[in-house]
Structure 1
Amino acid sequence: MRRFAPLLILLAANAAHADQVQIAVAANFTAPMKEIAARFERETGHQVLASYGATGKFYAQIKNGAPFDILLAADDETPARLEKEGACAPDSRFTYAIGKLVLWSAQTGLVDDKGDVLGKGTFARLSIANPKLAPYGAAAVEVMQKLNLFSTLEPKFVQGENIGQTHQFVVSGAAPLGFVAMSQVFEAGKLTSGSAWIVPGNLYTPIRQDAVVLRKGQGKSAVGAFLTYLKSEKAKVLIRSSGYDL
């Protein structure tokens, strides 16, 4: 027991200082966030309580008193708006990832590597995220407008509440193809299944995804520890490999 005493003391000390951090996470960042949270919990002893969904919905929930400590948004406008409205800690906002938009189908060969399938219109439905709530949906609309295809394709829209539901519509076959986040269908730089067109960045406004500490999270040790971890090189490597730029 004497040999294990220092270890037991250390574990007890860590447990005494362990805390919870409640994080609202944009749906597109679900996969990397789950891995980051697991690693963070193992290394710090803090607990992550993450909720995943549309950034627009999180904004409404936060304004109505939702008990989140941190928002990991799918855009930079929502955190900036919260900052302006005094709903977050001063000078806490930063860009944690830059998202990439992909036109994807679960079917091999349906989507070509130039996105010409959009102009051909040989499909019945097209899945996109609600552009009023989800920045990836707004980016998809911007792409179709620049390609002069929006009015033609709009009647085919199957609209998801967030990018997670949008992706699921394509997986389930409710729509044969859809605009999703690269992080949902690529792993370590390779397409995991189906066929895809990585939409050129000049067709939509960069999807800068900002993080911000909300008022409830000010001064909490777990909040500071999580943000430090999110900015670490270990987390950055994972974020890049999940289909984001930094």
Structure 2
Amino acid sequence: MTLTHHITRRLLLVGVGLFLAAAQIAQAAEIRVITSGAFTEAYKQLVPEFEKQTGHKVISAFGASVGNAPDAIPTRFSRGEKFDLIILSDGGLEAMIKKGNVIQGSRVDLVRSQIGAAVRKGTPKPDISTVAALKQTLLNAKSIAYSASASGTYLSTELFPKLGVAEQLKDTAKKIMSERVGAVVARGDAELGFQQVSELIYFKELDFIGTLPESVQQTIFFSAGLVEGSTEQDTAKQLIKFFQSPEVAETIRQTGLDPVAAR
């Protein structure tokens, strides 16, 4: 091979390499995703792997499924913030669909979540294993923290009245805005905290005491939806499929959630 042929061949190889690199860059996309609390821990563990496998970049935001807190998902949409994909409680997602924020028919259920309770590590663990025990624990607690999102809405508007303790808890139970209930309990600002299991169990400063009794439990689906007007719907669908894949199911379970696709 002559020197000229050798140089020409090297230049062609370099050109092919640059073309392939450019093609990969062209295929990579950037999507904006917002997720609510229950799916947050699983999300934070899985998104870096998705980015590694696909080359896409995910810009993440976090907020409550419902409510009017400054960082709640409905509030952020009302401010005009732009996203391609949202992940939140099924009820919250249906409300966003009705408002026209999310594409009708795009809902995909990702996980099931249940409500649990926790206390600060080293403090007495009250009994919530039966409805009667739960009621007595609520009445005995000096201070209770519950979420401003889906689980807290259920507790304050349905469960507390059903148990006949709503009036008694007006002075002791507090709705927590824009913060994890676990953080409030961990620093001693509340004796007892209720939230989605996946939002409590990773706090090392807490003792998880269990889930609500089955007869008064609320199992919530956390679901994904495509945002109206998004130009990255194909990439968003790719991320949804990744969250549904069998390969990530165990990671999701370890965060206190039940993968829907794995059942």
- TMscore range, shorter length: 0.7 to 0.9
In the aligned structure 1, how far is the partner of 2:96 from the partner of 2:211?
A: 31
Query: What residue identity is the alignment partner of 1:231?
Result: Q
Match of 2:171 among 124, 138, 155: 155
Aligned: 1:127 with 2:138: no
In structure 2, what is the equivalent of residue 173 of structure 1?
Answer: 188
Aligned residues: 236
1:5-84 mapped onto 2 (5 Å cutoff): 11-56=21-66, 57-73=72-88, 75-84=89-98
CA deviation profile, 1:143-192 (whole Å, cap 9, x unmatched): 33333222222311232114x432210111111211022113336xxx98
Query: What residue identity is the alignment partner of 2:26?
Result: A
In the aligned structure 1, how far is the partner of 2:108 from the partner of 2:242?
A: 14
In the aligned structure 1, how far is the partner of 2:255 from the partner of 2:84?
A: 24
In the aligned structure 2, how far is the partner of 1:205 from the partner of 1:165?
A: 19
Q: Identify unmatched segments of 5+ residues in structure 2.
A: 1-9, 67-71
Match of 1:229 among 242, 247, 251: 242
Deviation at 1:9, TM superposition (A): 6.1
Aligned: 1:202 with 2:215: yes
Q: 1:85 to 1:167 in 2, by over 3 A?
A: same
Aligned: 1:87 with 2:101: yes
Which structure's CA Rg is the greater one? 2
Identity among equivalent positions (%) equals 20
Residues 193-202 or 109-118, more deviating: 109-118
CA deviation profile, 1:201-233 (whole Å, cap 9, x unmatched): 431443122211001335444212211212211
Q: 1:226 to 1:195 in 2, by over 3 A?
A: closer
Aligned residue for 1:68, secondary structure, equals: coil
Query: What residue identity is the alignment partner of 2:95?
Result: R
In structure 2, what is the equivalent of residue 96 of structure 1?
Answer: 110
CA deviation profile, 1:119-140 (whole Å, cap 9, x unmatched): 154432100112xxx1011122
1:76–1:210 CA contact under 8 A, matched in 2:
yes
Aligned residue for 1:144, secondary structure, equals: helix
In structure 2, what is the equivalent of residue 243 of structure 1?
Answer: 256
1:101–1:199 CA contact under 8 A, matched in 2:
yes
1:69–1:223 CA contact under 8 A, matched in 2:
yes
Query: What residue identity is the alignment partner of 2:195?
Result: V
In the aligned structure 1, how far is the partner of 2:162 from the partner of 2:170?
A: 14
Query: What residue identity is the alignment partner of 1:174?
Result: D
CA RMSD of aligned residues (A): 2.7
TM-score, normalised to structure 2, is: 0.78
1:69–1:214 CA contact under 8 A, matched in 2:
yes
Q: 1:240 to 1:7 in 2, by over 3 A?
A: farther
In the aligned structure 2, how far is the partner of 1:42 from the partner of 1:139?
A: 38
